Amino acid sequence: MNDTDPALLYPRHLAVLRARADEALARSGHDHLLIPSGRRHYQAFDDRDYPFAVNPHFKHWLPLTAVADSWLAYTPGQRPKVIYLQPRDYWHVVPDAPGGWWVEHVDVHVVRTPEEALPLLPGPAARCAILGEANSALGDYAPNNPAPALDYLHYQRSFKTPYELALMRMAQHRAARAHVAAEAAFRAGASEFEIHMAYCAAARQDATEVPYQNIVALNEHGAVLHYTELDRAPPTEPRSFLIDAGASHCGYAADITRTHASDHGGEFQAMIEAVDAAQQAMCAAVRAGADYRQLHLDAHLALMGVLREFGVLKASPEAALATGVSAAFFPHGLGHPIGLQVHDVAGLAASDRGGSIPRPEGHPYLRMTRVLEPGMVVTIEPGIYFIDMLLDELKGDGRADSVDWARVEAFRPYGGIRIEDDVACTEDAPENLTRPAFAA
């Protein structure tokens, strides 16, 4: 089967979503599934709207990310109905007429005002599972988000269809191209702001289109996990560059981090290469049956091995993990599910009937605790950082002897290292979605 053309893969994707919707409706006891695409949000006391973020359930069914006040209606046994708002509006560009690979597989009804959707919705409203935000309500049709349906659909969403994997691969290519442009800008001495602009230009996406705010951090800024400030002036001495930036394709996210050193022969470059090698081994462990919590703990040990090799850590990796010293250098989770949302739903879900799998004690930021199964896509994003606040805590509470502080000082000016790829679990060897996009 052709695994690259979304048009050929879409019918099978739609069949999977219909089957999931049948089961979700059986569980919640409703007759129809209704998904509003979402309504615009406005700033308080202002007529400025926020960037439109489509309901992820809607873009699961349809590759539409910019169509507000529209609906997907599904009744078991019938073709899905799409109520598509194409307003009469001379202030804004209106959405194109419905077109693309999805159109022939659904019944499309174009409406000119949001209210015109009302008589087209299946009823009565009380018989509908309506998934969406409260502000999407139309008449009696207010989102009720029944938990049995949502628990089921969110859990199942972890299992990507071949159509979804094809779109995710395309997002990777867009992001990889932009990462290459960003590295070139760094090497040319650009500021964070200029690198960000070079990234967006190469991705051909602006800041509202990429799936999360770009993290473009030079030097010590790499130690701020979510650094999004974008200095307008370049530093006098650019030493290091951490970039965590993605791209979107038809509503699917790529989430990629790379770290670069300006000095190819230096110690920081050597540490990047050691983290990269460790990260590749972690990616190779994305196998069906692997417990992601264990992968996270294994990552702590591997990263502490790197810090020992570079003389930063004096304790053993096992001792550093047990005493929490490792969390001062690696204070976030190994990764998370990714797909329609960069941090996709159900990373902690215990089953498709609800419940959650707790994080390991002492690891409050892990976003994925499930056992891996074929079809899941997760990020693998280990990091080593030199964060004053966390290191000061080690100094102050009796764990100072685990660390060679002179070596910390040597690395502090570089901020930190994170390497992040998106990896699909299969029946067999994992598919790293990210690396081939850089090689292409």
Token pair 């850089």: residue: 438
The Cα-based distances of 70 to 58, 90, 97, 142, 368 in angstroms read: 9, 19, 13, 14, 32
Residue (of 285, 227, 222, 251) closest to 415 by Cα position: 222
With CB under 6 A as the contact rule, the residue among 69, 151, 164, 255 that binds ligand GLY is 255
CB of 420 to Mn ion, least distance (A): 5
Q: Which does residue 212 bind out of Mn ion, ligand GLY, none, counting CB within 5 to 8 angstroms by kind?
A: ligand GLY
Yes or no: say if 159 and 424 are a contact pair by the CB < 8 Å rule: no
Q: Strand 252-261 vs strand 128-130: parallel, antiparallel, or unpaired? A: unpaired
- The residue with its CB nearest to ligand GLY is 244
CB of 379 to Mn ion, least distance (A): 4
Considering the rule CB under 6 A, would residue 244 count as an interface residue with ligand GLY? yes
Window 375-414: contact mask with ligand GLY (x via CB under 6 A) = ------x---------------------------------
Q: Which does residue 37 bind out of ligand GLY, Mn ion, none, counting CB within 5 to 8 angstroms by kind?
A: none
Considering the rule CB under 5 A, would residue 344 count as an interface residue with Mn ion? no
For ligand GLY, the closer CB: 194 or 255 = 255
Considering the rule CB under 6 A, would residue 421 count as an interface residue with ligand GLY? no
CA 399, chain centre distance (Å): 35
Considering the rule CB under 6 A, would residue 207 count as an interface residue with ligand GLY? no
Considering the rule CB under 5 A, would residue 422 count as an interface residue with Mn ion? no
CB of 130 to ligand GLY, least distance (A): 30
Residue (of 405, 412, 399) closest to 319 by Cα position: 399
Residue environment code for 5-35, b if the CB has 16+ CB neighbours within 10 A, otherwise e:
ebeebbeebbebbbebbebbbebbebebbbb
Q: With CB under 6 A as the rule, give the number of residues binding ligand GLY.
A: 6
Q: Which does residue 156 bind out of ligand GLY, Mn ion, none, counting CB within 5 to 8 angstroms by kind?
A: none
3-state secondary structure of 264: coil
Considering the rule CB under 5 A, would residue 244 count as an interface residue with Mn ion? yes
Q: Which does residue 341 bind out of Mn ion, ligand GLY, none, counting CB within 5 to 8 angstroms by kind?
A: none
Prior bond of 124 cis (ω within 30°): yes
Taking the C-alpha atoms of residue 236 and residue 127, their distance in angstroms, rounded to an integer, is 64
For residue 99, the one-letter residue type is G
Q: Where in 382-421 is the site for Mn ion (CB under 5 A)?
A: 420
- Three-state secondary structure along 248-259? EECCEEEEEEEE
DSSP codes, 278-302: HHHHHHHT--TT-BHHHHHHHHHHH
CB of 289 to ligand GLY, least distance (A): 24
Considering the rule CB under 6 A, would residue 344 count as an interface residue with ligand GLY? no
What are the binding residues?
244, 255, 336, 381, 420
What are the binding residues for Mn(2+)?
244, 255, 336, 381, 420
Binding site for ligand GLY (CB under 6 A): 212, 244, 255, 336, 381, 420
